[in-house]
Chain A
Amino acid sequence: MRSVSDTAGTTPTKSERISAADVSKVATLARLSLTDDELTTATAELGAMLDHFADIDALDLDGVEPMMQPTPLANVMRDDIPGETLDRDEVLGQAPLAEDDRFRVPPIIGIEE
C-alpha cells in the first residue's frame, strides 16, 4: 500500500500518458483557452496525476459492475402536476443579458471575416 506522502513535493517528470496536443484538444472540448505557458504547466500536472493514478492499472476488474452512485434509487419520478416555478423576471434579471423575456446571446453562427 502506498503512502500518503509518496508523491508530495516531487517535481513532475515528463509523462508518457498525455501530450501537449492531448491537453490542447481537451481544453478546446471544455471551452477553455490556454496560453503556451499554461499548456506546458497543465501538461506536466495532468501527466503527473495520470502517472499517480496508474495504481489501478494492475487491478483485475473483469466482471466488476461499475458503480455510478451510492443509493439504490433509480429513475425517481413524480406525478405530472403543474406547480410553482421560478419567477421569470427574477431569473432573467440575473442573466448577463436579457431581452424580450429571453436570454440574449451573440450570433450562434460565426461571423465571417
Chain B
Amino acid sequence: MSDMGELHSAVDIASHVRNGEAKAADVVEQHLARIADRDGEINAFNLVLTDAARARAADIDAMVTAGHDPGPLAGVPVALKDNMCTRGIPTTCSSKILADWAPPYDATVVTRLRDAGAIFVGKTNLDEFAMGSSTENSAFGPTRNPLDTTRVPGGSSGGSAAAVAADFAPVSLGSDTGGSIRQPAALCGVVGVKPTYGAVSRLGLIAFGSSLDQIGPFTTNLRDAAVALEAISGHDPGDSTSIQQGPLELAPALERGVEGLRVGRITDLPSGASPDVEERLEVAFEALRAAGAEIIDVAVPAFGYGLTAYYLIAPAEASSNLARFDGVRFGMRTAAPDTNSMYTATRTDGFGAEVKRRIMLGTYALSAGYYDAYYGRAQKVRRLISNDFKAAYAKVDVLLTPASPTVAFEIGDKASDPLAMYLCDTYTIPSNLTGDPGMSVPFGTGEHGLPVGVQVLAPALQDDVMFQAAATLERHMQSDEPQSGEPQSDEPQGTEPRNVSPS
C-alpha cells in the first residue's frame, strides 16, 4: 500500500497517480477489496473486472514510470452501467435476452474514459434495459442501497449509484432516459448528472428511448463530476444526434459563485413531494439566496403533463428499439420451427415483465387507429413543455426542484404497482423531453436519516451554469458540517413546507 493512505476522490487519485505519488495498482486493490467485502450484499455489479483492472493499473503505472501522462483520469477506477458496450466483455442490460452476449465494439464513452487513463472495475446492475426506478427489475436480482440495505438504490442506474455510494469506484456512468441518473443519485446521496441531450455520444449505449437517452456520471463530489463529464463529452461523428461542438467546460464554473444568478422557483410544480424533501428544497433556495442569488417565481404550466407525454413517447421508442432483439443476431434464442415463432418464443422467454409491459404500451401507442390519440398527442404535449421551459429560462438561469419525491423506499414497496413506480420520475422527466441538462446534488438528509437530492435544471448547453449553482449547494453542505468554524449565516428561515399534497 502507498504511504499516501487511501485516496477517494477521482481528482485526488488522478493527480497523485500522474505525479507518481500514488500507484494505480494500490488504488485498484483498495477498491477491489471493498467490492469483495461488500458487493455480495449490495449487488451493485453484474460483473467485476478484477484481472483486467489489475492489468490495466500495471499499464498505467508503467506509463507514469516511463514519463508519459496517462490523462486526467489516470488510475481512476470507473464502473460502467451494463447497457454500455465493452468489446469482448459481457454487456447484458440486466436481461436474460443478452445474458451471454459480448459486444464486438466499445461505446464511445468507454474509449474516451480509457484514453483519459481510467480503469474499468466492473459493469453495474440496472433495471432491465434501463426500465424502472428501483433496480428491482433486473434478471440478476435487485441492487441494495448501501446506506440502508433494506431499501432500493433507485433506478434504473441503481448499480452505478450504489457503486459510488459504497466507495467501490469514485466515478461511474449511468444513462438517463427519464431520471435514471438523477433519481438514484438522490436516493444514494451522490452527485448524478444528465447533461444536455447530444453532449455525450450514445454510440454503444444500448438504446431505450433514442430521443431521450443521455449518458452521464455519478461521483461523490462536483469536481469529479466535472472532470468525468469533460472527458466523455464532445462531438462524435458516430452518433448522428451528437452536438457538433467540443467537450463541455465545467470545472471553471465551480468557482464562479452565484452572485446575481437568477434561480427559479416553479410555482405550479406538481405537488406531493414528501415534507422532508420539500424542507430541504427550501434550505437550498435559502443557501443560494444567502450566497447572492436572486430567487424568482416562475410558472411552468405543462410540467405536470410530462409524465403522460413521457410514458407514451419512451415506451413507443422502446418498442421500436427493442424489436432488434429477435434471436437472430445477438443474445439468446429459443428454438422454434420457423422464424416467426422463434422471434416470439425468444422474446417471451428473454424479456422480463416490465420490459414486456412497456413494449406493449409503446406498440399500442403507435398502432393504427391509436397513433394520433396517444403518440401524436404526446409529441405535441412535449412541445408545450419545451415552450414552457423556454419561457421560464427567459426569466431565470436555473431552476430548482426535488430530484425524487421521497427518500429511498423499501425493496418491494412499489414493485407490484407500475404506476406508483412511474411517479418517481415526475420531477426528472421534463428535462429528458426538452433535452435540457439536469443534475441531482446531495443536500442533507430527510426521513430515517436518508439522503435528499436537490435537482438543478438549466437550459440546453448551459451545463456549466448548472454546475455553478450546484457548487454553491455543495459548499453550503460542506460549511454546514458541525466542526466547521464558518458562521451559519445561511440557516433556513421560515421553511414551512409548501404545496404539500393533502393525500
Q: Are B338 and A53 in contact (CB under 8 A)?
A: no
A13 at the interface (CB under 8 A from B): no
Cα A18 to Cα B365 with chains together (Å): 11
Q: Known A30-B363, A32-B348, A59-B384; judge A71-B417 contact (CB<8 A).
A: no
Which chain B residue has the least Cβ–Cβ distance from A23?
B360
Chain B residues within an 8 Å CB radius of A31: 323, 326, 340, 343-344, 347
Per-position binary interface string of chain B over residues 365-404, scored 1 when its CB falls under 8 Å from any chain A CB and 0 otherwise? 0010000001011111111101000000000000000000
Binds A, one of B20-28, B186-194, B328-336: B328-336
Partner-contacting stretch, out of B146-154, B257-265, B269-277: B269-277
Shortest beta-carbon distance from A112 to chain B in Å: 10
Docked-complex contact B501 and A3, CB < 8 angstroms: yes
Q: Chain B residues with Cβ under 8 A from A21's Cβ?
A: none
Residue of B241, B319, B359, B363 near A69 (CB, 8 A) is B241
Q: Are A26 and B360 in contact (CB under 8 A)?
A: yes
Tell me the complex Cα distance, A103–B333, Å. 12
B381 near A107 with CB under 8 A, answer no
How many residue pairs between the two chains, A and B, have CB atoms under 8 Å in the bound complex? 201
Report the bound CA distance from A59 to B103 in whole Å.
45
A46 lies within 8 A of B333 (CB): no
Instruction: Give the B interface residue count (CB, 8 A).
Output: 86
Q: How large is the interface on A (under 10, 10 to 19, 20 to 34, 35 or more residues)?
A: 35 or more
Which residues of the other chain, B, contact A49 by a CB distance below 8 angstroms?
A: 311, 361, 418-419, 422
- State which of B270, B330, B436 has its C-beta within 8 Å of the C-beta of A95: B330
Which of chain A's residues 80-113 have a Cβ closer than 8 Å to chain B?
86-87, 90-91, 94-97, 103, 105-111
Q: Is B337 a contact partner of A111 (Cβ separation < 8 A)?
A: yes
Given A5-B272, A31-B347, verify A56-B377 contact (CB < 8 Å). Answer: yes
Whether A70 lies near B328 (C-beta < 8 A) is no
Q: Determine if A65 and B383 form an interchain contact, defined as CB atoms under 8 angstroms apart.
A: yes
CB proximity of A28 to chain B, nearest CB, Å = 8
- Tell me the smallest distance from the CB of A70 to a CB of chain B, in Å: 2
B93 to chain A, nearest CB (A): 14
Is residue B351 within 8 Å, beta carbon to beta carbon, of the partner chain?
yes
Q: Does B460 contact A (CB under 8 A)?
A: yes
Interface string of A43-73 (1 = CB under 8 A from B): 0011011101101100101001111111101
- Whether the Cβ atoms of B331 and A96 lie closer than 8 Å is yes
For the complex, what is the distance from the CA of A25 to the CA of B363, rounded to whole Å? Answer: 10
B305 partner, pick from A30, A33, A55, A107, beta carbons under 8 A? A55
A25 → chain B closest CB, angstroms? 8
User: Are A4 and B417 within 8 A (Cβ)?
Assistant: no
Name B298-323 residues within 8 Å CB distance of A. Answer: 304-305, 308-309, 311-312, 319, 323
Q: Answer whether residue B47 sits at the interface, using C-beta atoms and an 8 A cutoff.
A: no
For B311, what are the chain A residues with a Cβ–Cβ distance below 8 Å? Answer: 49, 53
Indicate whether A56 sits within 8 Å of B308 (C-beta atoms), given known contacts A26-B363, A97-B333: yes
**Across the interface, do A30 and B104 meet the contact criterion of CB distance under 8 Å?**
no
Q: Which residue of B lies closest to A1 (CB)?
A: B304
A30 to B361, CA, bound (A): 10
Closest A residue, CB atoms, query B331: A96
Cβ 8 A contact of A4, one of B272, B305, B308, B460? B272
Residue ID in chain A nearest B359 by CB atoms: A30
| Docked CA distance A106–B433 (Å) | 41
Asked whether any CB of chain A lies closer than 8 Å to the CB of B478, the reply is: no
Q: Cα distance A9–B98 when bound, in Å?
A: 33
Considering only CB atoms, which chain B residue lies closest to A28 in the complex? B344
Please pick, from A5, A6, A42, A94, the residue contacting B101 in the complex, using a CB distance under 8 A: A94
Chain A: minimal CB distance from B100 (Å): 8
A27 near B197: Cβ-Cβ < 8 Å: no
Task: Assess whether A70 is in contact with B434, with CB atoms less than 8 Å apart.
Answer: yes
Residues B359 and A32 in contact, CB atoms below 8 Å apart: yes
Complex contact A5–B501 (CB within 8 A): yes
Asked if A7 is at the interface of the complex by the 8 Å CB criterion, the answer is yes
B425 closest partner in A (C-beta): A4
CB contacts (< 8 Å) of A48 on chain B: these are 419
Question: Could you tell me if B337 and A71 are in contact, using CB atoms closer than 8 angstroms?
Answer: no
A5 to B363, CA, bound (A): 27
A105 touching B339 by the CB < 8 A rule?
yes
Shortest C-beta distance, B354 to chain A (Å), equals 10
Near A by CB (< 8 A), chain B positions 227-262 give 237, 240-241, 243-244
A42 touches B435 (CB 8 A): no
Tell me the complex Cα distance, A73–B211, Å. Answer: 12
Which of A7, A46, A66, A108 contacts B379 (CB under 8 A)?
Answer: A66
Which A residues lie within 8 Å of B384 (CB)?
59, 61, 64
Contacting pair A68 B379 (CB below 8 A): yes
What separation, in Å, do the CA atoms of A42 and B347 have in the docked complex?
A: 16
Pair A9/B420 contact, Cβ less than 8 Å: yes
User: Shortest distance in angstroms between A85's beta carbon and chain B's nearest beta carbon?
Assistant: 10
Bound: A4/B311 CA distance, A: 15
Docked CA distance A70–B313 (Å): 13
A-B contact pairs, 6 of them (CB 8 A): A4-B271, A52-B419, A56-B377, A61-B380, A64-B380, A73-B244
Given contacts A27-B360, A46-B364, A90-B104, 16 further A-B contacts (CB under 8 A): A3-B271, A5-B503, A22-B364, A32-B360, A33-B344, A71-B197, A71-B241, A71-B243, A73-B243, A78-B237, A91-B104, A94-B103, A94-B330, A105-B339, A110-B337, A110-B338
A-B pairs, top 6 by smallest CB distance, nearest first, are: A70-B435, A4-B272, A96-B333, A66-B379, A3-B272, A8-B420
